[in-house]
Amino acid sequence: MGDIHVVFGPQGAGKSTYARTLAASMKGTRFSIDDWMIQLYGPDLPKPLNFGWIMERVKRCERQILATTQEIAKNGGNVVLDLGFMKEKNRSELTILAEQVGLVSKLHYINAPHDVRRRRVLNRNSEKGETFSFEVTPVMFDVMEKEFETPSEAELARATIFITHAAA
């Protein structure tokens, strides 16, 4: 059986870059919610943005990604999930789901100071590099910043990897 690697942290922490590197290092399959959302729903995004509309589609993508993840891992492949995992509940549910089907999940917490993350996100908007999926405005950054639940000490104790990227 393969392992499921759950990459999580606040926006701009370096999750997507880390997930790409991790997947390449283990010849694993990487799933990014941003990639799926832009490919499947990008042209249909409502204007102005509607959070409920977006989250319904995120949930659809996550269900399919997780079903495919289980199949890959059961067949011996490693999977790296870059799905946001903003809430402890989401991270916990995935861990429980993996255990129920006999798979191992490993948490990778990626973080950086607030000012570094904000600067990265705003720079990503203008540079449109490898990890750019869509523009995150300063207002969107502030809204999403409030959505992320910092892991508790108990959750971090279960994490396989804890990384702080302090570099700009």
Instruction: Give per-residue pLDDT as tens, 4-44.
Output: 999 999 988 888 889 999 999 999 999 999 899 889 998 88
- Specify the 3-state DSSP secondary structure of 4: strand
Residue 106 lies in domain = 3-164
- Dmax over CA atoms of the chain, in Å, equals 44
> Is 90 exceeded by the pLDDT of residue 62?
yes
- What is the distance between the alpha carbons of residues 77 and 97, in angstroms, rounded to a whole number? 17
Beta strands in the chain (DSSP E): 3-8, 29-32, 79-82, 104-111, 161-164
- Specify the 3-state DSSP secondary structure of 2: coil
Burial of 83 (0-12, 13-18, 19+ CB in 10 A): buried
> How many domains would you assign to the chain?
1
User: Where residue 123 sits, what CATH number does that domain have?
Assistant: 3.40.50.300
Q: What is the dihedral of CA 117, 4, 56, 89, to 10 degrees?
A: -80
Q: What is the pLDDT of residues 65-110, one digit of tens each?
A: 999 999 999 999 999 999 989 899 999 999 888 999 899 899 999 9
pLDDT at 19: 94
Q: What is the pTM of this model?
A: 0.85
